[in-house]
Amino acid sequence: MTAAYRSRADALRWMAQGGAILGRALAALPDDRLDGPSRLPGWSGRHLLAHLAANADALVNLAHWARTGEERPMYPSPERRDADIEAGAALPAAELRAWLARAALTLDARLAELDRSQWERHVRTAQGRTVTAEEIPWMRAREVMVHAVDLGAGVEFDDLPAGFLAALIDDIAAGRSAAGPALVLTATGHDGTWTVPGSGEPARVTGTLAGLAAYLSGRRSDGVTAPGGGPAPRLPRWL
């Protein structure tokens, strides 16, 4: 199916909602819990916070690019991105929290400055995709929402807005490389299906919107089933 229409206003709203969901989870999380593992392999809560703060800084770079036309990549290089996450994860918790809050506010302010033609300007993502600046709030919404779940601090995909979940499934279904199995996804209580290109006869997979979003993003697949109730096929990593 063709992707549902996702407006800039939708993306900005989800970015704000995701920031609030993440903020509430973090406010309830004691500093020492950040030392423990997140749900992402090899990453502590501190790594996740450093990544979220650095991602906001990186998107500020894209907003600058859109506003001025002066090319400013998200990260100087993939190696620097990873090194900065490692270095950030070693910061005291209070500094990490302050960095994240400051970077998120700066991103809000920089996006609020963009005029109509600047929103349409082309920028390049860290994955090398050329997109318009319209994609920036969506990219941020995706990061804050999905990583709020990855924090393992009480937020689950079920807690995320349904419109966001449907847009996330649209996005991943359209963007997943054909390296994995071909899929046809049906969400219970939701009109339409999604097709994911890939190898073999398409596997028919059913779940809730939240379940399918978790499954497609490579997080968890409980409650997502193939015909007959068996488990859905395993997927390669995403994001």
- Distance in Å, CB of 115 to Zn ion, minimum: 28
Phi and psi at 205, nearest 5°, equal -125, 135
Choose one: 117-125, 137-145, 195-203, 224-232; the region binding Zn ion (CB under 5 A): 137-145
DSSP collapsed to 3 states, 178-189: CCCEEEEEEECC
Residue 115, token pair as written in the block: 């005029």
Choose one: 89-97, 113-121, 138-146, 163-171; the region binding Zn ion (CB under 5 A): 138-146
DSSP letter for 207, please. Answer: E
How many of the chain's residues bind Zn ion (CB under 5 A)? Answer: 1
Nearest to 104 by CA among 54, 168, 138, 148: 54
Judged by phi (left if over 0) then psi (alpha if -120 to 50, else beta), residue 116 lies in alpha
Tell me the residue type at 153.
A
- Distance in Å, CB of 52 to Zn ion, minimum: 7
Binding mask 93-132 for Zn ion (x = CB under 5 A): ----------------------------------------
Choose one: 59-67, 135-143, 148-156, 218-226; the region binding Zn ion (CB under 5 A): 135-143
| In the complex, residue closest to Zn ion by CB | 143
Within 10 A of 146 (CB to CB), how many other CB atoms are there? 22
Which of residues 148 and 187 has its CB atom nearest to Zn ion in the complex?
Answer: 148
- Distance in Å, CB of 76 to Zn ion, minimum: 17
Which of residues 6 and 51 has its CB atom nearest to Zn ion in the complex?
Answer: 51
Tell me the residue type at 34.
L
- Distance in Å, CB of 208 to Zn ion, minimum: 23
Choose one: 25-33, 39-47, 141-149, 198-206; the region binding Zn ion (CB under 5 A): 141-149
Binding mask 16-55 for Zn ion (x = CB under 5 A): ----------------------------------------
- Distance in Å, CB of 65 to Zn ion, minimum: 20
Judged by phi (left if over 0) then psi (alpha if -120 to 50, else beta), residue 106 lies in alpha
Please, which of residues 142-171 interact with Zn ion by CB under 5 A? 143
Which of residues 145 and 224 has its CB atom nearest to Zn ion in the complex?
Answer: 145
Name residue 199's beta-bridge partners. Answer: 181
Tell me the residue type at 238.
W
User: Where do we find the tokens 């697949």?
Assistant: 221
Give the Å distances, CA to CA, from 206 to 140, 171, 200: 28, 18, 18
Nearest to 153 by CA among 55, 56, 43, 30: 30
- Distance in Å, CB of 189 to Zn ion, minimum: 28
List of residues contacting Zn ion (CB under 5 A): 143
